[in-house]
Structure 1
């Protein structure tokens, strides 16, 4: 049972939620010079529960639709394969999805009551996104592109900052914008190997609708926009200059820009590219986080 729970939770991928909350915490500490550890732990628990819930729903719905039996899995795409190996555990996956969604709802209500009732709007959007992502959002190319970035950027990172800092500001907008663009691209590229299988079960994401080559152009545009957003945020004073440490990730980004289109229609060669994109999605925010910490320490 524990193996099933860990499998459908996709434990290795939860680092993204930890990074989103960590970045928000670093931003709140940079801005205000203090941080509630109790609130940070609650926000981290909520973020991890939300991520586990969407993963478990995805595993359950993809098993139920038959997609998991068609997909050629990679270390970064195609699901965990847990329910294919243990189909009798499908109900357990559903209970995990529902249980963690309930935990998200309870924690969200508590934090909204304690910090600001307007946070409820983010919470409601989050709950809707978690439940509808696999069965509904994946049928709309634009929503499918934007939903992951909105979930981790506009909801998780922005919401975490709001709770930890007490109110949102332009630093929160800047951080959430970076995560929005990076995570949109993360899921976009992860869809490339699954085009044939996804088409058979009625999904309509951009690599299906436009083809991988055109989707690669969108990937490149979003990646360039991410670095432009970083530079703009520093120029406008939303982020400290030390945040430009994130430019150390440029070699990774340039490699992706060089390789994504030539490899787009070669699914067998995509896994290393997916891995480099996962690394960039973690490295860039981690370097911004380090920049925020250094900027704050230099002010002390």
Structure 2
């Protein structure tokens, strides 16, 4: 019994995709540093609860996605890379599927509980963030992946708007132009990341009824959208600093610009064989996309922290 429980816990941990959960702290970090720039001093306890809610929300999305992909048969058709195609855990341990679904529900229930506490403290405005966030978690894999443009927007709204602006409101009780401006890069970069990760899985996703933007446009044109979103994230710093919505230290994010430009150039010139989901061609670009996302958001956090 103990060994079975341990195996199920390991499966749940792997299906939560812990290496990718670092995105949530970076987004919450932008809320915290934006609050510091605006002269607020959120307590460590509040920051901890907001961070926990963000981590659990991200884990819930991953767990629901892993269970859905296993149940639909998609897991047996994808060509996995370190950055796409799921973890493959439930292919190895199908007996853990119910445990993974239960873990997803428990994570979401914990997020709702934390959100309800902040709604009681801050006011009903927090319910709008909470309800929208729960809706995204539940609808993403089974519903939004069949609607190309909504599927593109959903990750950015979840990680950018909800995690940055929502966390800022939870920590300060208000919204500011600093928080809104700080949410733009993660919004664009998160949507770009999820679209990029769909490129190797076009045929597999199509076979189970999905219809996201990569399927709608094809790999070549979808890759160009990834390039546009990445460059737009960096370009957004200029008007935000010029308008005074972000401090000049936000330019630190541009230290990653050379890598972002090279990535955009490679994506724009993606050869035709990428339409067939050539993993050997796409995997290095997916890895660079993850590195650009995480490093740029870390530098933006650093810039806001230095300006506070």
Measured in 2, the distance between the counterparts of 1:38 and 1:294 equals: 22
TM-score (normalizing by structure 1): 0.96
List runs of 5+ in structure 1 lacking aligned partners: none
> Which residue pairs with 1:137 in the alignment?
144
> Which residue pairs with 2:44 in the alignment?
37
User: C-alpha displacement at 1:21, in angstroms?
Assistant: 0.8
Give the CA RMSD over aligned residues: 1.1
User: C-alpha displacement at 1:261, in angstroms?
Assistant: 3.0
Contact conserved, 2:199 with 2:214, CA < 8 A, in 1?
A: yes
- SS class of match (1:284): helix
> Which residue pairs with 2:3 in the alignment?
none
List runs of 5+ in structure 2 lacking aligned partners: 1-7
Give matches, 1:236-255, under 5 Å.
Answer: 236-255=243-262
Contact conserved, 2:247 with 2:304, CA < 8 A, in 1?
A: yes
Measured in 2, the distance between the counterparts of 1:228 and 1:20 equals: 19
Contact conserved, 1:68 with 1:84, CA < 8 A, in 2?
A: yes
> Which residue pairs with 1:66 in the alignment?
73
> Which residue pairs with 2:27 in the alignment?
20
Measured in 2, the distance between the counterparts of 1:151 and 1:33 equals: 24
2:106 aligns with one of 95, 99, 103: 99
> Which residue pairs with 1:57 in the alignment?
64
Matched residue pairs, number?
Answer: 296
User: C-alpha displacement at 1:251, in angstroms?
Assistant: 1.0
- SS class of match (1:191): helix
2:169 aligns with one of 139, 159, 162: 162
- SS class of match (1:204): coil
> Which residue pairs with 2:157 in the alignment?
150
The reply on whether 1:186 has 2:193 as its aligned counterpart is yes
- SS class of match (2:38): helix
2:283 aligns with one of 263, 271, 291: 271
2:223 aligns with one of 211, 216, 226: 216
| 1:163-186 C-alpha deviation (Å, 9 max, x unpaired) | 122211111111111111000000
Contact conserved, 1:243 with 1:292, CA < 8 A, in 2?
A: yes
> Which residue pairs with 1:293 in the alignment?
305
User: C-alpha displacement at 1:152, in angstroms?
Assistant: 0.4
Give matches, 1:80-91, under 5 Å.
Answer: 80-91=87-98
| 1:99-154 C-alpha deviation (Å, 9 max, x unpaired) | 01111111111111111320100100000110110010000000110100011011
User: C-alpha displacement at 1:16, in angstroms?
Assistant: 0.3
TM-score (normalizing by structure 2): 0.94
- SS class of match (2:85): coil
Contact conserved, 1:62 with 1:68, CA < 8 A, in 2?
A: yes
User: C-alpha displacement at 1:267, in angstroms?
Assistant: 3.1
